[in-house]
Structure 1
Amino acid sequence: MNPSKKVANHVAIEARGVSKRVQDASGELVILDGIDFTVPVGAAVAITGSSGSGKSTLLGLLAGLDVPSAGSISLNGQDLFSLDEDGRAGLRARQVGFVFQSFQLLPNLTALENVMLPLELAGQPARAAAEAMLGRVGLGARLHHYPRTLSGGEQQRVSLARAFVVRPALLFADEPTGSLDAANGEAIIDQMFALHREQGATLVLVTHDPALAARCDQQLVLQAGKVVEPVAAPV
């Protein structure tokens, strides 16, 4: 891992008293209620629970895409919500990669251009690194294909390459196999965990898949906005 991504206490994520409440027509809705947990640097954690338990909301808060109603979140020692919106965006650009269920590729860019984009935005040399990463995920022959000409599995490989090409300290994945069949989903997960180990990135993923959650070092089980139990994955 890049030394700049290490922190003195080896804690990548620390959440304390995190709550999220919103107002709807019937009054106040509690989505998250006093969430506490820590994730060590380089660990993989699965956020699980039934639909509506607050999984995606928690992931959005961890990424600084939303603001909690109460509580604090630190990423690699940085208090996330002591930063303004631009500061959080800058932190994401420097330290965070994303993998989404719906791929989120730019349709007017080729696979290579999609993977080059985050490096270009960071002012880093892009083409050689993007080509190498696409080769790493088995798409070396598909560099110049647009997303519409790629299968779902291939599009998610491009998404993986885009996420990992910047060597992020943190990788957030929201139902990364949700749009894929079983065979493609398993292949994507194998590649995601391999890259996670190679780069030493801390991995946080939302999933409904018990087999996928069991591959992680830690599981956060949410129920009605609360952590039911933070448990280690079975050996």
Structure 2
Amino acid sequence: MTNTHSIEVKNLCRQVADSSGTLDILDDVSFTVEAGEAVAITGSSGSGKSTLLGLMAGLDVPTSGEVVLLGQPMFALDEEARAAFRARHVGFVFQSFQLLPNLTALENVMLPLELAGRAARDEACAALERVGMQARLHHYPKTLSGGEQQRVSLARAFVMQPRLLFVDEPTGSLDERNGALVIDLMFSLLDEGDATLVLVTHDPALASRCQRILCLHGGRLVVPEPQA
């Protein structure tokens, strides 16, 4: 039988030292995500959600355990090789947008294409048009609203047609109206492709848009409480 797991998280632990000893940020977390599945990770502030997402993407190294993305054990790779893997296969959407301030909207979206050695301008323009930003191509991030910056970040995340999409609190910096617009846009872009989504959020309404919800509490996976 063919393994359809896009993501495997195996006995993942992350500990840090503090003044009182050792603090468990993540404690023996294991789960899988199937190809094309949309999974939300929920939990209160400090439950380990963003730490888990960073480890899944290979941005940090666990105390113990393993993450396998598309069949590749991430921590068998050095930092440079993990970065190269992310460039080929992973898209990111961050709460704080993470746009480069000295680049225009168009240049921000062109950047991952250029790093991959691909002709960038036409693809980047098309990606920005898909998120309704065709009139703002040459504006710098500081001149864009929060909702506009997040739409640019969506275009940048999707322009490489990633197989995996990691999203960290995408509406946390937006008002309700812009947050709803960004989420509708993100799921419409997902529907056009076949990316696997892992979404970190504290918003139950956003989590409910996903096919499955995983809940973290004190660094451990727990059964989520049923929604009212």
TM score, norm. by length of structure 2:
0.96
**1:190 and 2:184 correspond:** yes
- Structure 2 unaligned regions, length at least 5: none
Say whether the 8 Å CA contact 1:218–1:230 is kept in structure 2. no
- Equivalent residue, structure 1, for 2:210: 216
Superposition map of 1:73-84 within 5 A: 73-84=67-78
How well do the aligned residues superpose, as a CA RMSD in angstroms?
1.4
Superposition map of 1:174-189 within 5 A: 174-189=168-183
- Equivalent residue, structure 1, for 2:116: 122
Distance 1:223 1:147 in 2: 35
Deviation at 1:197?
A: 1.7
Distance 1:207 1:125 in 2: 34
Distance 2:129 2:49 in 1: 32
- CA deviation vs aligned residue, 1:163-192 (integer Å, no higher than 9, x gap): 000001111111000000011000100111
- Equivalent residue, structure 1, for 2:92: 98
Superposition map of 1:148-159 within 5 A: 148-159=142-153
Say whether the 8 Å CA contact 1:22–1:29 is kept in structure 2. yes
Distance 2:58 2:143 in 1: 33
| Identical-residue share of aligned pairs (%) | 67
Distance 1:166 1:93 in 2: 9
- Report the number of matched residues: 226
Distance 1:153 1:124 in 2: 28
Deviating 4+ runs (over 4 angstroms): none
- Equivalent residue, structure 1, for 2:155: 161
- Equivalent residue, structure 2, for 1:12: 6
TM score, norm. by length of structure 1:
0.94
For 1:199, the aligned partner's letter is G
Distance 1:136 1:201 in 2: 17
Distance 1:158 1:55 in 2: 24
- Equivalent residue, structure 1, for 2:65: 71
Say whether the 8 Å CA contact 1:97–1:170 is kept in structure 2. yes
Deviation at 1:229?
A: 2.4
